Structure 1
Amino acid sequence: MTRSGSFLRLVVAELGRLRSRRLTLAAALLVLAAVGLFQIAVVDEVSPPSPADVTTQRQYYEQAHQEWEQGHVAQEKDCRDSGQAPADCVWPEPSPADYALTATAFADVAPTAVQLSAYVALLAAFLVGASFIGAEFSTGSLANWLTFVPQRLRVYGSKLVAVALASALGGAVASFLMLGLVALFTRLYGGGLTGLGEAAATAGRAVPVAVLAGVAGFTFALLTRHTVAALGIALGYLVASAVLGTLASNADGPLGWLPPWLPENNVAAFLEHGTTYTQYVLTVTASGTSGDSVEKHLSFGHSAAYWAVLLVLAVVSGALVFRRRDVT
Structure 2
Amino acid sequence: MTRLIKAEFRRAFARGITKGVLLLALLFAGFTIFAMHQQVSNMPTQAEVQQTFRFAHDDWAKNHQRYEKDCLASTPESERNNAPTDFCDFPEPKLSDFVGQNGTLGGVLKQGTSGLLMVAALAALVLGASLVCAEFTSGSMMTWLTFEPQRIPVYASKVLVATLMGLLPVLVLVAIAGPGFWLAGSSGELEFAAGEQSTYLATLGRLFGVGMFCSLIGTALGFVLRHTTAVLGFAAVWLIAVELIGGNSIADARRWTIGTALSAFVDHGKEWETYPPCYSGGADCRPVIHWLGFWPATSYLLVVAVVGFLIGLATFRRRDVG
Q: Which residue of 1 aligns with 2:77?
A: none
Is 1:273 matched with 2:268?
yes
Equivalences for residues 63-212 of structure 1 within 5 A = 63-75=55-67, 82=80, 83-86=83-86, 89-91=89-91, 93=93, 95=95, 98=98, 105-187=104-186, 192-194=191-193, 195-212=196-213
Report Cα offsets for 1:242-289 as digits up to 9, x if no partner.
Answer: 3213421xxxxxxx242221222212211221112333334743xx88
- Worse-superposed segment, 173-182 or 188-197: 188-197
Report Cα offsets for 1:70-129 as digits up to 9, x if no partner.
Answer: 2335445776895534498454526499489xx953112111112211211110011111
The change in CA–CA distance for 1:55 and 1:315 in structure 2 (over 3 A counts) is closer
* Cα distance between partner residues in 2 of 1:289 and 1:94: 27
Q: Which residue of 1 aligns with 2:245?
A: 243
**2:84–2:284 Cα contact (<8 Å) kept:** no
Is 1:258 matched with 2:256?
no
**1:43–1:185 Cα contact (<8 Å) kept:** yes
**2:84–2:285 Cα contact (<8 Å) kept:** no
Report Cα offsets for 1:174-230 as digits up to 9, x if no partner.
Answer: 135322112233445575444111111111121111111111111112111211111
Is 1:32 matched with 2:22?
no
> May I ask how many residue pairs the two structures share in their alignment?
309
Is 1:231 matched with 2:232?
yes
* Cα distance between partner residues in 1 of 2:156 and 2:240: 32
Runs of 4+ in 1 over 6 A off after TM superposition: 53-59, 77-81
Is 1:10 matched with 2:4?
yes
* Cα distance between partner residues in 2 of 1:121 and 1:264: 12
The normalised TM-score by structure 2 is 0.82
* Cα distance between partner residues in 1 of 2:5 and 2:199: 34
Is 1:315 matched with 2:319?
no
SS of the equivalent of 1:281 reads coil
State the superposition RMSD in angstroms. Answer: 3.3
Question: Which structure carries more relative contact order (alpha carbon 8 Å, separation 6+)?
Answer: 2
Unaligned runs of 5+ in 2: 74-79
The change in CA–CA distance for 1:14 and 1:80 in structure 2 (over 3 A counts) is farther
Unaligned runs of 5+ in 1: 1-6, 249-255
Is 1:326 matched with 2:289?
no
